[in-house]
Amino acid sequence: MTPSASSALTLMVQGTASDAGKTTLVAGLCRVFARRGLRVAPFKPQNMALNSAVTSDGGEIGRAQALQAIACGVPAHTDFNPVLLKPQSDTGAQVIVQGRALSVVEAKDFFGPGARHYKQKMMAAILDSFERLRGDYQRIVVEGAGSPAEINLRDNDIANMGFAEAADCPVILVADIDKGGVFAQLYGTLMLLSESEQARVKGLVINRFRGDIGLLESGLTMIEELTGKPVLGVVPYLDNLVLDAEDAITRHTVASSDERPLRVVVLVTPRISNHTDFDALRLHPRVKLTWVHVGSAPAQCLAADLVILPGSKAVRDDLTVLKTNGWQQWLNRHLRYGGKLMGICGGYQMLGQCIDDPQGIESAAGSSEGLGYLPMTTRLEIGKQLRNVTGTLHLEGEPCAVQGYEIHCGQSEALAEHPPLLLLTTNGGEPQPDGMVSDDNQVLGTYLHGVFDSTEACNALLAWAGLEHSRQAVALDQQREASINRLADTLETHLNLDLLEQQMNPHKL
């Protein structure tokens, strides 16, 4: 692929490992370029994550690219992440190409030695999306996946150097000093690259540094001499950034106030998805949020005011794990003692009477008995519901505004007349009912992801769960925006952006 004179200037950020800081560095650079009045877009050729987002063109991409789109000041689009893998089992994943689910493949068929033809098809879609972006934007900041030095996955690579070579774009390499061994990370990664790939790396970035920079300077000089690559900057460790997680569960919570907090437990199933639903709770000053894995018996699980069943990419399989380990008995006891229970998306489906999957969409074809707390049934069907919505929550007191998104295959049907929990619309269409509350007012379910992100809805839901005299819901959008700006400020201070911009010129390669 030969860049044309009118093509966007492109930079690819690769990392020495997963969680080296690629996602945040790309988001920060996107905001830096957007501040300069440039039309900028994020891009990730291939992502593997269970946190996803609905795009403006009605597709699905990784949530990290939706965050980066916010940093750019543009609507999220399926071209920003043309290949998304959503794991459904230890060895299989749903493949989403340009926003649409195409198939479920085993890892060996996607990453193994016989995957050349399949990867060629994926690369064609990736370059198709990339070419459109190059014509529409002035800057594209690309995020790699994992590490380019994973030598067992080098053949037919489409996520790191395979893409960089096909798209003919420069690369910077970021390493996390907080993990230790940062110079070995950088040097070892470069030594495992081919000669042409090494030449494509135009600079190094050290991320998450704490302490006296003077103690690092001799190492910076030595790594530049060893590799022949300039260190473009040392980025300090930034605490308390409110940014959507790509996949890993964020453990940080704010300190609860002196008033009694609401104790919230989120049950972490093996295929939990879109756990960013709980960022607003994690940051709430009067909520004590605890993640509890259901892979073992609940003997040591603390009492809670509210228990939440989150979304799941394999609902029936996760339901089996939950039941096998005794969690239904624990939930029964929780409800007997007056606790509240809430399910979102897949968690909502679990709360019903049964879940049917006759076509084996998420796992082996069959039917599973639900937890039986809500009078409804669910049937999994081909074709995902993907939509961004606004509407009203009807719980206790006056209806309140809510917004969010839906990503699900299941269609749930009430077994008896039941008032809806929410009325939701897409693009000003007719309001559609969603969710329900049990007759005893203890159990609640909805398909709406992001339901806690709207401050009014969050306040209402927490009041329903038992939090008294609190109107302290976090304005998540404002905190995210402040964090992106703080990140961009930091990069403008600690990166050599003039040199970085020079390296984005394709004629420099």
> SS3 sequence, 380-421?
EEEEEEEEEEEEEECCCCCCEEEEEEEEEEEEEEECCCCCCC
Q: What is the pLDDT of residue 507?
A: 55
Q: State the amino acid at position 468 in one-letter form.
A: E
CB 81 within 8 A of CB 47: yes
Residues 478-506, mean pLDDT to the nearest whole number: 94
Residue 117: strand, helix, or coil: helix
Q: Report pLDDT for 113.
A: 66
pTM of the model: 0.90
Q: Which residues pair with 366 in a beta bridge?
A: 357
Residue range 282-306: mean pLDDT, rounded: 90
**Structure letter (DSSP) for residue 311:** E
How many percent of the chain have pLDDT more than 90?
79
Residue 2 has pLDDT above 60, yes or no: no
Q: Nearest to residue 144, comparing CAs of 10, 249, 243? A: 10
Q: Which residues pair with 268 in a beta bridge?
A: 293
pLDDT at 508 over 60: no
What is the pLDDT at residue 82?
A: 97
> d(Cα 170, Cα 148) in Å, to the nearest integer?
14
506 pLDDT band, cuts 50/70/90, is low
Whether residue 461 is predicted with pLDDT greater than 90 in this model: the reply is yes
Partners of residue 14 on adjacent β-strands:
173
The continuous run of DSSP H or E covering 434 comes out as strand 432-434
Residue 509: the pLDDT is 41
**How sure is the predictor about 33, in pLDDT bands with cuts at 50, 70 and 90?**
very high
Indicate the range of 71-80, 419-428, 448-457 predicted with least confidence.
Answer: 419-428
Just list the catalytic residues: 345, 449
pLDDT band at 178 (very low <50, low <70, confident <90, very high): very high
Burial of 71 (0-12, 13-18, 19+ CB in 10 A): buried
pLDDT, greater one: 405 or 101: 405
Residue 241, pLDDT score: 94
Kindly state the average pLDDT of the residues 88-106.
83
Lowest average pLDDT, out of 128-132, 365-369, 395-399, goes to 395-399
Q: What is the mean pLDDT of residues 2-11?
A: 69
Contact 373, 394 (CB under 8 A): no
Only one residue has tokens 């230890």, namely: 90
Strand residue runs (E) in 299-399: 306-309, 311-312, 340-344, 354-357, 366-369, 376-393
Cα distances (Å, whole numbers) of residue 267 to 80, 270, 341, 361: 31, 10, 11, 23
Asked which of 22-31, 107-116, 308-317 is least confident by mean pLDDT, the reply is 107-116
Nearest 5 degrees, angle CA 274-CA 147-CA 120?
85
Is pLDDT of 6 > 70?
no
Confidence check: pLDDT of 481 > 90: yes
SS3 content of the chain, % helix, strand, coil (to 5): 35, 30, 40
- State how far the Cα of 112 lies from the Cα of 285, in Å rounded to an integer: 47
What's the gap between Cα 249 and its chain centre?
Answer: 10
More confident residue, 119 or 423: 423
Helices and strands per DSSP (H, E), number in the chain: 15, 26
* Mean per-residue pLDDT, 5-10: 76
| Lowest model confidence (mean pLDDT) among 106-115, 286-295, 467-476 | 106-115
Is the pLDDT at 230 greater than 70, yes or no? yes
Q: Tell me the pLDDT of the chain averaged across its residues.
A: 92
Residues 149-174 as b/e (b if ≥16 CB within 10 A, e otherwise) read: bbeebbebbbbbbbbbbbbebbbbbb
